[in-house]
Structure 1
Amino acid sequence: MTKQPDSENVTIVNDDETPQPSSEEGDVEKQRLPVSEGDVTDDPNIVSWDGDNDPANPYNWKSWRKVVNCILISALSFLTPLGSSMFAPGVTDLMIEFQMTSRSLGSFVVSVYVLGFAAGPMIFAPLSEIYGRGIIYHTTNLCFLAFTIACAALGWRWVFWILSCLSGFITVTFFVFSAETYAPVLLERKTRRLRRETGNMNLRSQLDEGLLPRDYFVRGIVRPFKMLFFSPICIIAALYVALGYGYLYLMFSSLSPLIQQIYHFGTGAAGLAFLGFGVGSMIGVIFFARLSDVYIKKKAKEEAELAAAEGREPAGLKPEYRLPPLRFGALLLPTGLFIYGWTAYYKVHWIAPIIGTAVMGAGNLMIFMSFQMYLVDTFAQYSASALASNSVVRSILGAVLPLAAFPMYDKLGLGWGNSLLGFIAAALIPVPWLVLKYGEYLRKRFEIKNL
């Protein structure tokens, strides 16, 4: 038996300590059983968590610590898209300064930003699974800050100074308060400490799959594409989210000039037109959180009662329990497009199309959150790769679709142009009901092995 230092909150699994599997099936970060092939639970050189309540395991952190990390991640999720959308009202001034006449090129100035969302995850997702989330956050935060400052002077560029200030604050806060959350990296760090303190070079992490960093990186790049090409639920999620994301950036690139032309708003006032998306998204977040929590608690209670009646342990909650809000999002997205398009076409009071964008924003948010949480619950340890595969598709469509905005509006007008988008979204309304009904079958029938 390998002796463990008293100061370490680590369990070295041995023949005297038989680990009990976690009730969270399929999530190796919560399990205490090794992930490598073969029965190695009696191996004295396997380093695991110090019990199911080990405070070093991120799942067991204090609530305040979890909240702080969630707030920091949420702040980043808010800031990075802001880099493109916040600049959208200034596109007209940029075109004047650089003597640009192509409105499609003006749209591309906004949408090209999201091409980085397609390329970035393919590199940084596998790196985060090798070196951890923390170092990736810190490095990319500094890069974002540096390039944002490079884009800032006065005039329309003042937007980038605001982004630089926000980015600088979040970057420093991240350095001070954030903590590593990726279980394989945390266990590997503990294993290295134990090797130094015990002199036992044969110790290895319970979650160590025995691959070199190069192998992890190559596999990490290939994994999102395997998910995207061979997992039906990944394909469905990617295409549906991509549609809403493409519509969102189409609006970002076209809303300001259209509002200026129709309602004669100035550049500053045109920026306020985006409040509809902001308010709608906030409503969508609140509605999603409330509905999702209520539904999951209901299903958990039903499962507990059924398990008690059958005399067994309750089974884990299914990822499909995250999807009910998706049905509302599917209905709201086309509804918002119809409201926005026809009220703007008939030049109804400016608040009417803004309400349309709010409805669209709420629907888009519920679609996005439902599928994101579904992928996280489905792929657990490899959720970063699942989200990366989703990000690639949605980011490409988000960058390309806005280029068609002004040609479409010129040919069809605001009413029928947005109705065309709405009809496409309406055709996909049955998808949430189909995924709720057949998602579990697809998830198990086309499970990807050897990720």
Structure 2
Amino acid sequence: MSATWASSAYSAGTAQVAEHFHVSKQVSTLGTTIFLLGFGIGPLLWAPLSEVYGRRLAVLIPMFIAISFSFGSATAKDFQTLMLTRFFGALFSSAPVTNTGGVLGDLFSPSERGIAMAGYAMAVVGGPVLGPIVSAAVVQEPSLGWRWAEYLTGIVQVIFLTLAVIFVDESYPPRLLVYKARRLRHETGNWALHAKFEEWDVSIKELAKKFLVRPIQLLSTPICFLVALYASFCYGILYMQLGAIPIIFGEIKGWNLLVSELPFLCIFIGAVLGCGANVYNQLLYNKAYHAAGNRAVPEKRLPPMMMGSFIFCGGQFLTGWTAQKDTHWIVPCVGLVLLGTGFFTIFQAALNYLVDTFQAYAASAIAANTFLRSCFAAAFPLVVTPMYHNIGIWKED
């Protein structure tokens, strides 16, 4: 959650960044776009490495480096430095977002994974919708400003990293067997004991061929590509709200910076409702799972996505058609609740489907999905402001 928080917390301070570094507000929005580009590239590295060196190291080390770049963003002396620290901060902070799907695949059977995945998806959605609200409260305080929004991001990441160091253990089965073999060698004195995973001598060439290319290979399959494409488009729409909500409630309705960011809570409420729908679908999935001889049934993950696709579109239409000054604020907020509900059901169904389909390579499948969705999310915030101003909100939505 701290990683996705960092992706959106910057958005509330774009006006101050533009004023401070003497660039246009549109240019200052690049901070979000560049962050999401780094967020898309990082998984292509961290997911394969987690399947070689284990999940824990592939999360904790990059997260520590990401914290350094978060504080670097807060102390940036010029705009170029800010953009560089945002990019590399995203590159390293994408590790926990990517590898969590693999961890859940390691720890939970398909009959339990849906509920566990709901918690992961809530964190992925909760960061982008809660980050702008908290950062807006910080940014509008004259004694703090946009730099403290970045400091706060770093502090949040430090807290989560500390908890991870204390409570998170290795979960990747081949790596656990390596640890077990090592322990048995010392206990028994039989130095011939070893895990099969230790027989593989990692070379850079083989690592690149077998692991770094794997997410791209999975993305080239129709199953992974089509599911990831639809989920990524919806994810881009979610990040479009970083620019849309301040325009609707700030520019049109005249609310101040903090209050105009509060409608993001409507998306979060919708995500909670969508989470309930996915938990209910898990109960239905369990029947199919047991009927199939305790084997994963990926297609049974898709009914929430089918339902959510209509709710997602309905929320967009309702928000767009009621975003006038004389319309009561509750109506577009209801649209945002529907948007959040639809998005969450689509997003979690896609994650569950990919993990069930590519079980042994779940982290790489999630990495492929993260790469594609970050590309969409990077582009949408950059174009939303000119589109809304030139086309109109009701036409665009």
- Flag the 1:106–1:247 CA change in 2: closer, same or farther, 3 A: farther
Aligned partner of 1:369 in structure 2 is 348
Aligned partner of 1:233 in structure 2 is 223
- Flag the 1:84–1:235 CA change in 2: closer, same or farther, 3 A: same
Deviation at 1:241, TM superposition (A): 1.0
Aligned partner of 1:127 in structure 2 is 49
Q: What amino acid is the match of 2:285?
A: I
Aligned partner of 2:283 in structure 1 is 294
For the residue of structure 2 that corresponds to 1:179, the secondary structure is coil
Question: Is the counterpart of residue 343 in structure 1 residue 322 in structure 2?
Answer: yes
Question: Is the counterpart of residue 180 in structure 1 residue 173 in structure 2?
Answer: no
- Flag the 1:102–1:88 CA change in 2: closer, same or farther, 3 A: closer
Task: Give the unaligned 5+ runs of structure 1.
Answer: 1-77, 305-313, 419-451
For 1:377 and 1:358, locate their aligned partners in 2 and report how far apart those are by CA, in whole Å.
29
For 1:322 and 1:225, locate their aligned partners in 2 and report how far apart those are by CA, in whole Å.
23
Aligned partner of 1:98 in structure 2 is 21
TM-score (norm 2): 0.77
- Flag the 1:258–1:90 CA change in 2: closer, same or farther, 3 A: farther
Larger radius of gyration: 1
For 1:112 and 1:353, locate their aligned partners in 2 and report how far apart those are by CA, in whole Å.
29
Aligned partner of 1:204 in structure 2 is 194
RMSD over equivalenced CA pairs, Å:
2.1
Q: Is the 8 A contact 1:114 1:398 kept in 2?
A: yes
For 2:57 and 2:160, locate their aligned partners in 1 and report how far apart those are by CA, in whole Å.
15
For 1:368 and 1:79, locate their aligned partners in 2 and report how far apart those are by CA, in whole Å.
19
Aligned partner of 1:427 in structure 2 is none
- Flag the 1:347–1:187 CA change in 2: closer, same or farther, 3 A: farther
Tell me which stretches of 4 or more aligned residues in structure 1 moved more than 6 Å: none
For 1:317 and 1:127, locate their aligned partners in 2 and report how far apart those are by CA, in whole Å.
26
Question: Is the counterpart of residue 243 in structure 1 residue 243 in structure 2?
Answer: no
Q: Is the 8 A contact 2:304 2:346 kept in 1?
A: yes
For the residue of structure 1 that corresponds to 2:42, the secondary structure is helix
For 2:289 and 2:45, locate their aligned partners in 1 and report how far apart those are by CA, in whole Å.
37
Q: Deviations over 1:91-140 (max 9, x none)?
A: 2232233333353x243322321112211111111111111111122112
Given candidates 179, 183, 190, the residue that maps to 1:189 is 179
Question: Is the counterpart of residue 137 in structure 1 residue 127 in structure 2?
Answer: no
Deviation at 1:348, TM superposition (A): 1.3
Given candidates 403, 407, 413, the residue that maps to 2:382 is 403
In the TM superposition, what are the counterparts of 1:303-322 in structure 2 within 5 Å? 303=291, 314=293, 316-322=295-301
Q: What amino acid is the match of 1:220?
A: F
Q: What amino acid is the match of 1:222?
A: V
Q: Is the 8 A contact 1:337 1:360 kept in 2?
A: yes
For 1:89 and 1:126, locate their aligned partners in 2 and report how far apart those are by CA, in whole Å.
34
Deviation at 1:165, TM superposition (A): 2.6
Question: Is the counterpart of residue 107 in structure 1 residue 29 in structure 2?
Answer: yes
Identity level (%): 32
TM-score (norm 1): 0.68
Given candidates 213, 223, 240, the residue that maps to 1:222 is 213
Question: Is the counterpart of residue 163 in structure 1 residue 142 in structure 2?
Answer: no
Greater fraction of residues in helix: 2
Aligned residues: 328
Q: Is the 8 A contact 1:345 1:413 kept in 2?
A: no
For the residue of structure 2 that corresponds to 1:87, the secondary structure is helix
Question: Is the counterpart of residue 267 in structure 1 residue 257 in structure 2?
Answer: yes
Q: Deviations over 1:274-300 (max 9, x none)?
A: 1122211122122212x2222113324
For 1:270 and 1:320, locate their aligned partners in 2 and report how far apart those are by CA, in whole Å.
40
Q: Deviations over 1:161-196 (max 9, x none)?
A: 332332222111111111100001111122233344
Q: Is the 8 A contact 1:127 1:217 kept in 2?
A: no
Q: What amino acid is the match of 2:388?
A: Y
For 1:199 and 1:217, locate their aligned partners in 2 and report how far apart those are by CA, in whole Å.
35
Q: Is the 8 A contact 1:92 1:257 kept in 2?
A: no
